[in-house]
Structure 1
Amino acid sequence: MTTWTRGGPGLTRRRMLMGTGGVAALAAFGGLPTRLRAQAPVRVAGIYTVPVEQQWVSRIHLAAEAAKAAGQIEYSFTENTANTDYPRVMREYAESGAQLIVGEIFGVEQEAREVVLDYPDTAFLLGSSFPPDPAYPNLGVFDNYIQDASYLSGIIAGAMSETGTIGMVGGFPIPEVNRLMHAFMAGVRESKPEAAFQVSFIGSWFDPPKAKETAFAMIEGGADLLYAERFGVSDAAQERGVLAIGNVIDTQADYPDTVVASALWHFEPTLQAALAKVASGSFAAEDYGIYSFMKEGGCSLAPLGTFEGKVPQAALDLVATREAAIRDGSFTVEINDTEPTSS
């Protein structure tokens, strides 16, 4: 387990994802809540089953690092935690005095809940496919409900695909992945109603070589644009000269001629809501997924950057219209958690 003052040189991609904009990121979401400014920093522990540079976990880690840089929290984390070790690490952090434990328990749902019951004075904010349960009053659940941004990225994808065949590579067909794929596909059909999709899951959250090989097969099958739900997909797109749409993070700087747009997840609103409730003593079994919605500031469409001026104006106009409607509540992107299939 790491200590509360963990540091280290990290990896190249990690420095890119985590090394900039900490305080700025927090400021972008309203800064430090007034009720927390005069209080001692909250002791927060992160437990992650993958490296912190992985897309999904990186957003949690970035938000925590921003809060730490602002003096709001003390932060320690453990990465690459096997599901079999997850309950043990939860217990160790709870025993060491963590006030809030964040992480993801998709592969260890019941075991994690057993730990939660043993530490009623510790708040747990954990990614989960299940709803909150009053039987576990100190367990708040969340997921990356960024279907709004995924839908908008799909509109752009449909306009940029010439063949109308789009490849989609995911980790596992669980709700958090399925809903984003469905939203993306719905957006694509707004621009290209006749679009066809190749859908595949690699059975891993972090296996770039496998994701890359899967993407190669899709390109050989006619796909000229790829939905990069996993690392490795954009590498395949870059090597074969096709386009890609990013997910959760913006990797256009790494793939300036490949990644057209990305649906970004911002964990800051979720973390801020939890910290405020920890500070007020009102943390409870709630669904924090709503803080990932676009109207809550939990997701956005990345700037076009190197593709500025290359996306058809009709698609950009539709994106602007739909985004305004999403934000004012007059348009709702469907949340479909069923497993998507190829068409």
Structure 2
Amino acid sequence: MRAQYRLGIVIAVLIIGLVVGLGVGALLFRVPATPTTTTVTVTVPKTVTVTVTASPTPTPTEKVRIAVIYVTPIEEPWNMALHQAMKWAEKHLNIEYVYTEKVHEADVERVMREYINLGYKVIFPHSWGYHPVTIRLAKEFPDVLFCQGSGPVDIEWPNNVLLYDYWIQEAAYLAGMVAGLMTKTNVIGVVTAFAVPDVNRLVNAFCAGAKAVNPDVKIIVTFIESWFDPVKAKEAAAAQIEAGADFIYAERYGVFEACREAQKKGKRVYAFGNIVNQNDLAPDVVIASVVWDLRPFIKYVVDMVRRGEIKGGIVDWGMKEGWAKFVWNEKLKEKIVPPEVVKKIEEAKKAIIEGKLKVPIYEDWDPERWK
């Protein structure tokens, strides 16, 4: 879905290039290592020619005040990825960061208005369900930058809304390759939340990576119908392990506990962390993590605000921009991962970054696709 609506973003930012993604005009922005003034012209096939002018970043002189609203507890990975990036920005970018967690959609307008009334000029409504309120308030407060965490792209967004989402399917594809190459039972699994577009992207990518190296592998996918229910996720993972799964993509919290218990019973079971680096949470279980690194995006936002600009658009960076990362648990890798598997993953990673390997994007869920 997000790969089909990328035109019209003209943002004065620090960039050294735009990348055309998926052959349909996705615009991906990069920040140069040193401040320069550059004009970049990119011809998008079958679309238009886009010109972007970048200007130097001013020296940070005053704090950029940022308020974030989370719909679930802060420890939920989708939230923690942004929280960690904000804590980093506090230290390195001179920002003021405040947040409110566990805000129901029915109450988010009140919370957003409170932050705006307190003078916060950058608001992060970090949930798909918040987007109707974001659109309404963005029109009412054109001098406030709203960074909306996921939402539909086939609608018209106000010019002061930046729409972002976790485009980590490239790293999830690599995780699928590891599972497909290393499974002993030829059964692997995914425990996830809902069959919604952003989740479907990474679940399908994991399945595609596994099937690319092991066409006969069986993949069990369980949707627990909750964004945060560790008990339910643990039960789903336990059922998959009972059915033979020995590698599980833990899109939700709770999977690691099931894997630990299975290991205590002598089973060879491993998992993949999701969104944040979870390797240390269960070092004997998590073989690698698929990481969403929001630090480049936060810098992008802060630099824009310091230049006195408020411009919206759609941000859908990938591995090339450092937005998505595949991070090995080095100790477990040395212990159980064959060198030839490591080599294949590094080769695939390099091919993805160079644009030679295109990870398929499916935003629907069709279980027949991966049988």
Structure 2 residue 149 is the aligned partner of structure 1 residue 127: yes
- Quick check: 1:96 aligned with 2:96? no
Of the three residues 308, 313, 317, the one matched with 2:339 is 313
- Return closer, same or farther for 1:133/1:276 CA change in 2, 3 Å cut-off: farther
Counterparts of 1:103 and 1:305, CA distance in 2: 35
Q: Which among 265, 286, 292 is matched to residue 265 of structure 1?
A: 292
Counterpart of 2:322? Answer: 297
SS at match of 1:74: strand
Residues 1:183 and 2:205 aligned together: yes
Tell me how far 1:44 sits from its aligned partner. Answer: 0.3
The offset of 1:262, in angstroms, is 1.2
| Alignment-mate amino acid for residue 219 of structure 1 | I
**Which digits, 9 at most, give the CA deviation of each residue in 1:30-68, with x for residues without a partner?**
699972533311110010011222111111111111111
**Pairing 1:233–2:259 present:** no
Give the alignment partner of residue 282 of structure 1, picking from 306, 309, 326.
309
Is 1:140 paired with 2:165? no
The amino acid of 2:351's aligned partner reads A
Any gaps of 5 or more consecutive residues in structure 1? 1-28
Change (3 A) 1:36 1:126: farther
1:180, 1:103 → 2: CA distance?
22
* Runs of 4+, deviation exceeding 6 Å: 29-34
Partner of 1:326: 352
The residue aligned with 2:236 is: 214
Per-residue deviation, 1:308: 2.3
User: Shift of the alpha carbon at 1:173?
Assistant: 1.3
* CA displacement at 1:108 relative to structure 2: 3.2
Alignment partners' CA distance in 1, 2:146 and 2:175: 32
Alignment partner of 1:264: what SS? strand
- Supply the RMSD in Å over aligned alpha carbons: 2.1
CA offsets, 1:139-170, max 9 Å, x none? 11000001111111111111221111112111
Kept in 2, the 8 Å contact 1:129–1:175? The answer is no
Contact 1:169 1:233 in 2 (8 A): yes
Q: Return the alpha-carbon distance in structure 2 between the equivalents of residues 316 and 284 of structure 1.
A: 41
In structure 2, distance between residues paired with 1:266 and 1:30: 17
Distance 1:136 1:249, change over 3 A: same
Higher relative strand content: 2
In structure 1, what residue type is equivalent to 2:243?
G
Please state whether the residue corresponding to 2:65 is helix, strand or coil: strand
Residue of structure 1 in register with 2:174 after alignment: 152
Q: Deviations over 1:163-209 (max 9, x none)?
A: 11112111111111110111111111233211111111112111101
1:340 deviates by: 4.6
1:269 Cα deviation from its structure 2 partner: 1.2
Asked whether the 8 Å contact 1:226–1:244 carries over to 2, the reply is yes
| Unaligned runs of at least 5 residues, structure 2 | 1-31, 37-55, 264-268
Does the 8 A contact of 2:287 with 2:328 survive in 1? no
Aligned partners of 2:69 and 2:103 also within 8 Å: yes
Residues in 2 aligned to 1:341 and 1:90: alpha-carbon distance in whole angstroms: 39
Does the CA-based 8 Å contact 2:180-2:211 persist in structure 1?
yes
TM-score by structure 2 length? Answer: 0.79
Which of these two proteins has the greater Rg computed from alpha carbons? 2
State the SS of the aligned residue for 1:182.
Answer: helix
Shift of 1:118: 1.4
Q: What is the CA–CA distance in structure 2 between the aligned matches of 1:233 and 1:38, rounded to whole Å?
A: 42
Identity %: 35
Normalised by the size of structure 1, how large is the TM-score? 0.86
Q: Distance in 1 between matches of 2:328 and 2:234?
A: 25
Q: Which amino acid aligns with 1:145?
A: W
Deviations 1:116-139 (A, max 9, x none): 211111000111231286551111
